[in-house]
Amino acid sequence: MADEALELSELKGEFRKKVNELLPEGNLNLCFTCGTCASGCPATGLENMDPRKFVRMIALGLDDEVTSTPWVWMCSMCQRCIYACPMNVDIPRMVYLARQAWPREERPKGILGSCDMALRNDSCSAMGASPEDFQFVVEDVAEEVRENHPGFETLQAPIDKEGAYFFLNQNSREPVTEPDEMIPLWKILHLAGADWTYGSKGWGGENYCMFLADSDAWEHIVRTSIKQAEDLGCKVYLNTE
Amino acid sequence: MTFAVLEGLKKFGIKTDLEIASIYQYYAKWIREGKLKVNSDWNKDLKIKFTVQDPCQIVRKSYGDPVAEDLRYVVRSVVGDENFIDMTPNRSNNYCCGGGGGYLQSGYVEARHQYGKVKFDQIVATGADYCVAACHNCHAQIHDLAEHFEGKYHTVHLWTLICLAMGVLGENERTYLGPDLAEVGL
C-alpha cells in the first residue's frame, strides 16, 4: 500500500462495481472491518496481504493493486473467511473475480496447463489422458486384480455401463501416475455390492478450470460429465473427492 | 470435484435429476448397513493413532458438518474409536491444507509451504502417526508438508484403511503406509 494518503477521486473503482454485482454477498458496505476473516486465514501475511486488506482495497477502488497481486493465487478459496464472517461477505468470489481479471495467458502456467489439458478431449482430465488411455489402464489393472487377488475373481471396473446406479469420477492422477491406488476403491465398491460405472466422457474428477477462473471451461467440464452420467441413465453422481 | 460440480450446476443454471453425492456418505452408509464388514481389531494392540483432514471442498464448501461426521464415523470404525484424535479446529471450521484452489500447480511453492505450516502444526499437535487425507489434493499437500518440515506422520488415503480393516488390502496398495503397517493383514 502507498505511504502517502490516497487520493480517492483519482481511483477507478471499476472492480468494485463488478464486486457489487455479487449482491448481497458483494455489498462491501456490510463489512465491519472486524478482521475475523484475516485472523483465521492461513494466507494472511503472504505478499503483505490478507482478506480484510483485500476487501478494503476493493472498497477504496485500488483496482490496479487488487487485480495484479499474486496473492489471489495464494488464497486457496477455501471459504473459511466467509464461513466465519458475521456479515457473509463473499471474499472467495472476489478472489475469483480478481483471478479472472488476469489475462488468461498470464495466469499461473501450471493451472493454465491443467485446464487446457482437460479441454483436449472428452475425459476432462487435467493430465490430458484420453478416453482410450483410461480404458486401457482400467481394464489392465482390473484384470490383474481378478487374476491375483483371491476373493475378487469377479471384480468389475466398468466404463459406460448403461443403467448403473452410480456414476463415479476419479482424480486422473490415479490412473495416470499411481494406478494401484484405484484398486482399494474398486474392492470397496465390489464388497458393498454397488452397481457403478465410470464414463468414457467426463471421468476426470478434478476441475482446474474453476481454479483458473475460466468460467466457460469450468461449465464445459461440468456439462460434459453430468451429461454422460445422464445419458447412461445413472441415478447418483458420486464424487471420490 | 464435488464443489466444482455443485457450484457449477448452480452458477451455470444446469438442471439435473442426478443426486450429487460424496463417496464418504456412501462409505458410512455401507458400513452402517453392514455391507462393508470393517473391523478395527488389527489396531487393538498396535494402538496406532490417526487424525483426519476435513477437505474444504467436501465439508465446508459442499455438505457441511454432516459429511464430516460421516467421515469420522468411517475413520473411527476402521482404526478404532480410541485411536482417533481430532485436529483443532475441525469439521467446517477446519483449516485448508493449502493444496486446494490450484495451489499445487500454481508455482508458488514457498507461499504454499508457508500457508501449509498452519496445517502441519495442527497435525503434529495431535501426535497422530497418520493423517487420513481422502482428497487427492489434500493428500499431495499434507504428504509434501511432512517432507518439507520433516514431520514424522504418514499421509494415507481413506480407501487404504477401509480395505486394511476388511483384510483385503493388497501388497501393491501400501505405498503410503509406514513400516508399522506394511505387513498388517497380508
User: What are the tens digits of pLDDT across the range A123-175?
Assistant: 999 999 999 999 999 999 999 999 999 999 999 999 999 999 999 999 999 99
Q: Which residues of A touch B8 (CB under 8 A)?
A: 207, 210, 218-219, 221-222
Tell me what pLDDT residue A2 has.
56
Question: Which candidate from B11, B101, B107 shows the least CB-CB separation from A75?
Answer: B101
Helix (H) or strand (E) holding B102: none
Q: Which residues of A touch B99 (CB under 8 A)?
A: 76
Domain ranges for chain A: 8-102, 109-238
User: Looking at residue A89, what DSSP letter applies?
Assistant: -
**SS3 of residue A152 by DSSP:** coil
Output the CA angle B129-B130-B136, nearest 5 degrees: 160
Task: Report residue B127 as a C-alpha cell.
Answer: 501426535
Say whether A187 and B168 touch across the interface (CB within 8 A): yes
Q: How confident is the model over B84-129, as pLDDT tens digits?
A: 999 999 999 999 999 999 999 999 999 999 999 999 999 999 999 9
Domain ranges for chain B: 2-173
Say whether B16 and A226 touch across the interface (CB within 8 A): yes
Q: Which residues of A touch B101 (CB under 8 A)?
A: 73, 75-78, 211
Q: State the average pLDDT over residues B156-185.
A: 97
B117 CB burial (10 A radius; 0-12, 13-18, 19+): middle
Could you tell me the CA-to-CA distances from B163 to A58, A194, A223, B52, B72 in Å, in that order? 49, 16, 33, 17, 16
Tell me what pLDDT residue B161 has.
98
The size of the A-B interface in CB pairs under 8 A is 211
Q: How far is A50 from chain B (nearest CA, A)?
A: 12
Tell me what pLDDT residue A182 has.
98
Question: Does ipTM surpass 0.95 in this model?
Answer: yes
Tell me what pLDDT residue A27 has.
85
B23 CB burial (10 A radius; 0-12, 13-18, 19+): buried
pLDDT, averaged across chain B: 97
Tell me what pLDDT residue A8 has.
81
Q: How far is A206 from chain B (nearest CA, A)?
A: 5
Q: How confident is the model over B60-79, as pLDDT tens digits?
A: 999 999 999 999 999 999 99
Say whether A237 and B26 touch across the interface (CB within 8 A): no
Question: What is the C-alpha separation between B78 and B10, in angstroms, rounded?
Answer: 35
Tell me what pLDDT residue B166 has.
98
Alpha helices, DSSP H only, in chain A? 14-20, 36-39, 51-60, 63-66, 80-84, 91-101, 109-120, 131-148, 173-177, 182-191, 208-211, 215-231
* A124–chain B Cβ distance below 8 A for any pair: no
Segments in chain A below pLDDT 70: 1-2
Give CATH for domain B2-173: 3.40.50
Q: Which residues of A touch B55 (CB under 8 A)?
A: 241
Question: Best residue in A171, A178, A188, A224 to probe B by mutation, most B CBs within 10 Å?
Answer: A188
* A104–chain B Cβ distance below 8 A for any pair: no
Question: What is the C-alpha separation between A136 and B104, in angstroms, rounded?
Answer: 28
Say whether A206 and B160 touch across the interface (CB within 8 A): no
Q: Which residues of A touch B95 (CB under 8 A)?
A: 42, 78, 80
* A73–chain B Cβ distance below 8 A for any pair: yes
